[in-house]
Chains A and B, each alone.
Chain A
Amino acid sequence: MAGVWSSIRYLLADFIGDDGGTPPFLPDGLPDAVVPVASEGIERLIDYQGAGYAQLYVDRLKRFVGRHGVDDVLFGEIARLMAERMSYDDPIGIAQAKLAELDAGPGTPRVASDDVRKFRRDELVEALPAAVADPLLGILEWRGWLHRPVSMRFSTAGRFGVRRLKIEAGLRRWRLFSVRYGTERVWVERWLHMIDRSLTKQPQAAAEIVQTATMIHDYGDVYRQGLADWHLIIDGLAKPTFDGALALPDLAGAIREARAAAMPDPRQAALKRKIAEIRGRAQAPQLVVPANAGTHNL
Chain B
Amino acid sequence: MDTSHIAEHAGAVSSFFASVFVVATFSMRTMIPLRVFAILTNILLITSSMATHNYATLALHSVLLPFNGYRLHQMLQLVRDVKKSVNSDLSLEWLKPFMTERKCTAGEVLFYKDEKAESMFYIVSGRYRLVESGIELPVGAIVGEFGMLSPSNLRTQTLECIEPGMVLSVTYTQVEELYVQNPAFGFYFLRLASARLFQNIATLEQRLAAHAAPPAAAPASA
Contacts and interface: CB of A to CB of B under 8 A. Distances in A.
Contact of A189 (B105, B106, B112): B112
A196 interface: yes
Interface in B108-152: 109, 112-116, 131
Contacts of A249: none
B106 A192 contact: no
Contact of B115 (A189, A197, A235, A292): A189
Contact of B112 (A56, A190, A235): A190
A292 B112 contact: no
B114 A192 contact: yes
A267 to B, nearest CB: 21
B107 interface: yes
Among A63, A190, A193, A235: residue with most chain B CB under 10 A: A193
Interface in B87-120: 105-107, 109, 112-116
B113 A292 contact: no
A250 interface: no
Contacts of B85: none
Contacts of B68: none
B107 A290 contact: yes
A59 interface: yes
A187 to B, nearest CB: 11
From B112, B113, B116, B158, residue with most partner A Cβ within 10 Å = B112
A251 B109 CA distance: 22
Contact-residue bracket for chain B? 10 to 19
A235 B114 CA distance: 21
A285 to B, nearest CB: 16
Contacts of A193: 109, 112-113, 158
Contacts of B114: 60, 63, 192, 196
A235 B107 contact: yes
A192 B116 contact: no
**Most A C-beta atoms less than 10 A away, residue of B106, B109, B115:** B115
Q: What are the nearest 9 A-B pairs in CB distance?
A: A189-B112, A193-B112, A63-B114, A189-B115, A292-B107, A193-B158, A290-B107, A193-B113, A196-B113
18 contacts: A56-B116, A60-B114, A63-B114, A186-B109, A190-B109, A190-B112, A192-B112, A192-B114, A193-B109, A193-B113, A193-B158, A196-B113, A196-B114, A197-B131, A235-B107, A290-B107, A292-B105, A292-B107
Given A186-B109, A190-B109, 5 more contacts: A60-B114, A189-B112, A193-B113, A292-B106, A292-B107
